[in-house]
Amino acid sequence: MKRYTVFLAIGAGLSLTIAGCGKKGPAANVAELQQAFATKAADANPDAAKAGGTTQEQSDQIQKNIGQAVSALKTNGYLEAFVALRSVQSAPNLTLDQYTAVVNARLAVEKEVAARAVAGDPVALRAVEAIKGAARR
């Protein structure tokens, strides 16, 4: 009985996650990310580096991570996209548009991988386990 309750709770949670997230697909999230990060964070606020904000090196790393996330989103690389987006999400001095784009893309990755895992996709099931492990860190 206890095992049945756990599976029921997980299924309900995944269903709510899938139903509750927006209807944007990966292509919309890729476009949103690319638009939000079209200019480097330091270029958007040139005084940020002087005020102890994002340095050029940090800005370059953010751009690299966004590139990795975009590439992973285009190829259904769930884990790679999740890890890259999570590292960018915690970056200092993101604009509101950049932060929103990163969060929306990360949530879309979680939604897509959950839907595929529920459908029995073995790659998605492994990604869910890896994402759970990454989320605990």
Alpha carbons 2 and 72: distance in angstroms, whole number: 37
- pLDDT exceeds cutoff 90 at 20: no
Q: In terms of residue numbers, what domain contains 74?
A: 2-136
Displacement of CA 72 from its chain's centroid (Å): 10
pLDDT for res 42? 43
pLDDT for res 24? 60
- CA distances, 60 to each of 7, 21, 25, 54, 86 (Å): 43, 30, 27, 10, 16
pLDDT for res 88? 92
Q: How many domains does the chain have?
A: 1
Cβ neighbours, 10 Å, residue 65: 20
pTM for this entry: 0.68
With cut-offs at 50, 70 and 90, classify the pLDDT of residue 30. Answer: confident
| Residue bearing the bigger pLDDT, 17 or 93 | 93
pLDDT tens, position by position, 39-82: 654 444 554 444 445 678 888 889 999 999 999 988 888 889 99
pLDDT tens, position by position, 90-136: 888 899 999 999 999 999 998 999 999 999 999 889 988 888 887 67
Mean predicted lDDT score pLDDT of the chain: 77
Question: What average pLDDT does this structure show over 11-39?
Answer: 67
CA geometry: angle 123, 127, 131, nearest 5 deg: 175
